[in-house]
Structure 1
């Protein structure tokens, strides 16, 4: 079993050139970083300039990876607007996780196929009409029902993030301590803590733990 992430940047045609370029650079940087976190390196490929697909060989890490990518993009801000980092984020994406078999391997990820690819691609299409930002589909209907509700709540929570909130969540997902985040961003630890609480980190952490437990119980990269 593998996990496939399918995603596209939202309203990318309206992005200023600098923001679109920064988004692509940030995505590639994050892909390289995430590839080092699993025994078999995850693979990602950008296509059409504003979409990507990725293969994660440890499905239990898929939600973490999706949120790392999401917050990396949500925290982007243009150079001339750095003073407004607490304002509404300028870049966002829609991302679908599919967990299943890997039946047809090709050198190019978009040319590959299998259950995980189909689940991910179809879920991404369905999310467009539902105005969802993150979704999950597996062969297990009970798991799908549980996380459909959980991820809807996550959508509601993340819609309230500013670029500053997303930035703090990003570093928490990288397991930085509050003091380390404060040093990285040049702000006080109390400011980090306030942004952490405002962004709903405790609920996100619980969701990640639950996802990891459930997916490890039912799926693994050896299956």
Structure 2
């Protein structure tokens, strides 16, 4: 079983690609190498293959990496299933994980994060939770997005260490993480992992 994230970038033309592309690629590189595990195509669309347990965290990090730039965001569909054919490029590989991801992506309307697997009941529960999480994520400021990304990428860092990175006070970090919904998002990621590992 594997998971495929299909995404595209909202308002990609509001900035030059050389401003936001390095930030996106940094996150994609955490999960594998291009073009076998991830690929950016048509300028502002991308696919990433990750283990199912890591899919939600990867999607949230991708969102945070783009929301660091004003007006930008990503639409993301997580597909879970099998991979029956492995090509040199992820965009040419195939299997139910790719089909689920593609179908899920086509159904994204106003919501910008959803999942489709072969377990409809689980999908239904998770998608309701994602919609609630988006109430917070959609309102991230560039500062909130940067801070949340740093906290997720360095889970062992405490607030004092994060404050040093951002050249600010521990109090500001605490407030910033609260505004970004860090505790709730971490709980959601952990719940998601616990459900996926049981599949």
Quote the Cα distance in structure 1 between the aligned partners of 2:66 and 2:56.
15
Q: Is the 8 A contact 2:83 2:97 kept in 1?
A: yes
**TM-score, scaled relative to structure 1:** 0.83
Q: In the TM superposition, what are the counterparts of 1:73-152 in structure 2 within 5 Å? A: 73-76=66-69, 89-127=70-108, 130-152=109-131
Q: Which has the higher contact order (CA 8 A, sep 6+)?
A: 1
Partner of 2:40: 46
**DSSP-derived class of the 2:53 partner:** helix
Aligned residues: 195
Quote the Cα distance in structure 2 between the aligned partners of 1:131 and 1:171.
27
Partner of 2:6: 6
Quote the Cα distance in structure 2 between the aligned partners of 1:158 and 1:216.
25
Show structure 2 runs of 5+ residues with no match: none
Show structure 1 runs of 5+ residues with no match: 37-41, 77-88, 219-223
Indicate which of 55, 68, 87 corresponds to 2:49. 55
**DSSP-derived class of the 1:105 partner:** coil
Large movers: runs of 4+ above 4 Å: none
Q: Is the 8 A contact 2:3 2:81 kept in 1?
A: yes
**TM-score, scaled relative to structure 2:** 0.93
Quote the Cα distance in structure 1 between the aligned partners of 2:80 and 2:86.
16
Q: Does 1:32 align with 2:20?
A: no
Q: Is the 8 A contact 2:11 2:71 kept in 1?
A: no
**DSSP-derived class of the 2:43 partner:** coil
